[in-house]
């Protein structure tokens, strides 16, 4: 006999088997209990019907009547099985369950009557009618009794455990949210009041919750009812109205959650579950939904390479690309963990997608040549870059090597291997740059304009501002600081930034790729700039705290390379309409190809000889104006 000690995987496996067996046993007991209750209900219902009909059971017919009742019990049980009434969870029993109980009971009464008649064991006809009605009542009550007991149990919990909740939107989703709160006491939410802009619902009740006003009454009602939490149930409201409602909610001290929007439900994202307010909800403009026909035409059946595919923009590009049925999607990144996690996600979302992860750096020309030789990508999205402004001020040479020459290496590989399109992800910090990072991205734009002169590959750049929620961006930093109790650090009270969501940025990048004829710099319409201080204060309010009271805001001063405001266009650029909503083309005359090549060769030589990148950029980029400021603390928070 093998007396060796079990290994950890074996122990985990045996534990999993035990849990499964326990779960099956528990489920079997519950089903058996429901069957016993139902059979008792069938018998009791028809027995009561006889008692009501005769005031008792006639002694002469006692045996025949009891036999007839047992026939009814068998028929009812068969119909309850056929209607899958033993496969429904008690905790979810509701109207649908009661409707099936009713239909099954009516049919069982009818067929039971026919069978009893054929077997010469009939009961009085009125007994069948009364019996069916009693069965519906008895079995229906047994199914909702579990939820009633849970409601009573939750009502016995101390009031200090509950979050007093307001529902915004008294439609079907609002009703579902109230039901969810009532049925799931561990949510610790007690709905007390609802608001809805439909005045026909005013002074009505939704599952026992009164509708007492419209959106403008949110601050007043929150104060009147001492509300702790506001839940938005607005699946069909447009973005403008949604943000107005969020603004009104943020005037209170309540935390805010939301039920999924109609688009999220259609995309099967967290349908039916509450979530915190998404960073995209803080934008002051409507995201553009673009026509995707052209995107499909140039991605369908092609091999697509995304460098920096594990990053915020790169990974979202991969998710969007997967929807358009490319032949292959190659994710190239130096960080294996994020790339591997993304590949697992894509395999789950798109089981038929041929998704390949390759690890390596865009600095490595030999590795890039191997990659392009093996896969022959036709479309290249170049998202690999160092983007953290203060860190690149502290490591300027690394910014040049990665952002400038990494772009050059990848773009040359695309040219050498006859790629059809090469799209560079640029940044608004490349416009009149004051940072090393911005200057390096401006040089990267020069690179694609230089290589475009050779003609075989269409090169273009897409320039946009900050993306909400990306790695290293300001929103995740603020959330962490709020969770820690503050303070929130803002560099300057008046600092502004352009923002868009990661999915919107990725869609616009893909859309710009359709119209890339060569050498363009596509500039995404970012709407109006947003004050970082306003975002910080809104996030504090949405978390249920008061700015400057519960959570302090500290102003740390601009960091090295940081501008008070960003720009999307150079002074000499004349933005033209591209024909694509939300995308402009910045027309500027680039230096001659031979001049750009000469400058790149000189820059490489200077960096290899240890020259300061700032000095080099000052000589190469006339719009570069470096801030003369000592290096600052890196913990001031990313842009």
Q: What is the pLDDT of residue 279?
A: 59
Cα separation of 103 and 135, whole Å? 11
Residue 141's pLDDT band (cuts 50, 70, 90): confident
pLDDT digits (tens, 9 = 90+) for 61-114: 677 778 888 888 888 889 888 887 777 655 556 677 778 888 888 898 888 888
Cβ–Cβ < 8 Å for 346, 271: no
Q: Where are the domains of the chain?
A: 22-154, 159-277, 300-469+498-530+562-636
| Tokens 């027995």 -> residue | 47
Q: Which of 5-14, 171-180, 241-250 has the lowest mean pLDDT?
A: 5-14
Output 394 or 274, whichever has higher pLDDT: 394
Cβ–Cβ < 8 Å for 343, 368: no
Q: How many other C-beta atoms can be found within 10 angstroms of the C-beta atom of residue 4?
A: 6
Cα separation of 133 and 130, whole Å? 5
Report, as an integer, the average pLDDT of 174-202: 85
Q: What is the pLDDT of residue 15?
A: 54
Helix (H) or strand (E) holding 205: strand 205-206
Cα separation of 502 and 282, whole Å? 13
Q: What is the pLDDT of residue 132?
A: 87
Among residues 394, 318, 396, 413, the alpha carbon closest in space to that of 356 is found at 318
E strand spans, 448-561: 458-464, 466-468, 488-490, 496-497, 499-501, 520-524, 530-531, 553-555
Query: Within 13 Å, how many C-alpha atoms sit on residue 540's CB side?
Result: 22
| Tokens 């294996």 -> residue | 336
Among residues 39, 31, 46, 45, the alpha carbon closest in space to that of 77 is found at 39
Residue 117's pLDDT band (cuts 50, 70, 90): confident
pLDDT digits (tens, 9 = 90+) for 343-358: 999 999 999 999 999 9
pLDDT digits (tens, 9 = 90+) for 269-282: 444 567 777 656 66
CATH superfamily of 300-469+498-530+562-636: NAD(P)-binding Rossmann-like Domain (3.40.50.720)
Domains 159-277 and 300-469+498-530+562-636 share a fold: yes
Among residues 150, 272, 252, the alpha carbon closest in space to that of 193 is found at 252
Cβ–Cβ < 8 Å for 231, 167: yes
Q: What is the pLDDT of residue 566?
A: 64
pTM: 0.64
pLDDT for 329 beyond 90: yes
**Number of helices (H), then strands (E), in the chain:** 21, 22
Cis ω for the linkage preceding 617 (within 30 of 0): no
Q: What is the largest CA-CA distance in the chain?
A: 115
- The number of residues in the chain equals 639
- The domain 159-277 is classified under which CATH number: 2.102.10.10, 3.40.50.720, 3.40.50.300, 3.65.10.10? 3.40.50.720
Please name the residues in contact with 264: beta carbons below 8 A apart, sequence gap of 6 or more: 270, 271
pLDDT digits (tens, 9 = 90+) for 201-260: 888 888 889 999 999 999 999 999 999 889 998 887 876 788 788 888 878 878 888 887
First to last CA, the chain: 64
């Amino acid at each position: 006999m093998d007396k060796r000690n079990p290994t950890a995987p074996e122990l985990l496996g045996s534990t999993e088997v035990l849990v499964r067996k326990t779960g099956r046993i528990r489920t079997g007991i519950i089903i058996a209990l429901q069957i016993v209750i139902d059979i008792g209900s069938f018998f009791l219902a028809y027995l009561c019907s006889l008692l009501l009909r005769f005031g008792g059971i006639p002694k002469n017919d006692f045996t025949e009547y009891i036999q007839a009742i047992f026939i009814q019990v068998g028929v009812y049980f068969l119909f309850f099985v056929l209607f899958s009434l033993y496969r429904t969870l008690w905790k979810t029993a509701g109207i649908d369950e009661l409707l099936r109980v009713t239909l099954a009971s009516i049919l069982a009464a009818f067929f039971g009557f026919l069978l009893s008649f054929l077997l010469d064991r009939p009961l009085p006809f009125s007994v069948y009618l009364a019996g069916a009605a009693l069965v519906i009542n008895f079995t229906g009550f047994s199914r909702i009794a579990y939820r009633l007991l849970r409601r009573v149990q939750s009502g016995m919990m101390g009031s200090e455990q509950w979050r007093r909740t307001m529902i915004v939107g008294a439609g079907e989703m609002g009703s579902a949210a109230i039901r969810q709160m009532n049925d799931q006491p561990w949510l610790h939410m007690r709905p007390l009041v609802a608001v809805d802009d439909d005045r026909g619902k005013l002074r009505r009740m939704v599952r026992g919750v009164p509708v007492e006003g419209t959106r403008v009454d949110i601050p007043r009602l929150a104060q009147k009812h001492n509300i702790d939490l506001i839940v938005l149930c607005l699946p069909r409201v447009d973005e403008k109205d949604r943000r107005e409602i969020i603004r009104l909610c943020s005037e209170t001290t309540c935390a805010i959650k939301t039920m999924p929007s109609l688009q999220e439900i259609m995309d099967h994202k967290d349908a039916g579950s509450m979530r915190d307010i998404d960073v995209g909800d803080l934008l002051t403009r409507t995201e553009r939904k673009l026509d995707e026909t052209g995107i499909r035409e140039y991605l369908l059946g092609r091999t697509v390479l995304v460098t920096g595919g594990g990053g915020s923009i790169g990974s979202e590009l991969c998710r969007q690309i997967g929807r358009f049925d490319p032949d292959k999607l190659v994710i190239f990144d130096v960080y294996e963990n994020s790339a591997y996690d993304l590949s697992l996600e894509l395999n789950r979302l798109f089981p038929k997608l041929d998704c390949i992860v390759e690890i390596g750096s865009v600095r490595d020309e030999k590795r890039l040549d191997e990659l392009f030789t093996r896969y022959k990508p036709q479309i290249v999205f170049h998202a690999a870059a160092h983007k953290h402004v203060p860190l690149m001020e502290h490591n300027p040479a690394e910014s040049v090597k990665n952002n400038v020459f990494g772009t050059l290496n990848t773009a040359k590989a695309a040219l050498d291997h006859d790629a059809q399109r090469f799209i560079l992800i640029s940044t608004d910090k490349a416009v009149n740059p004051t940072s090393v990072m911005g200057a390096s991205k401006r040089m990267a734009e020069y690179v694609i304009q230089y290589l475009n002169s050779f003609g075989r590959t269409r090169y273009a750049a897409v320039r946009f501002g900050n993306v909400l929620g990306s790695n290293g961006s300001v929103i995740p930093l603020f959330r962490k600081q709020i969770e820690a109790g503050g303070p929130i650090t803002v560099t300057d009270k008046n600092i502004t930034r352009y923002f868009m969501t990661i999915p919107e940025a990725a869609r616009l990048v893909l859309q710009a790729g359709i119209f890339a004829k060569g050498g363009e710099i596509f500039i995404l319409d970012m709407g109006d700039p947003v004050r970082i201080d306003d975002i910080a204060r809104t996030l504090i309010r949405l978390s249920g705290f008061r700015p400057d009271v519960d959570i302090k805001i500290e102003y740390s001063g601009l960091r090295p390379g940081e501008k008070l405001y960003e720009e999307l266009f150079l002074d000499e650029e004349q933005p033209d309409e591209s024909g694509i909503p939300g995308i402009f083309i910045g027309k500027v005359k680039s230096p001659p190809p031979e001049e750009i090549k000469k400058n790149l060769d000189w820059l490489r030589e200077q960096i290899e000889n240890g020259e300061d990148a700032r000095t080099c950029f000052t000589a190469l980029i006339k719009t570069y104006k470096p801030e003369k400021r000592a290096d600052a603390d890196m913990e001031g928070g990313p842009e």
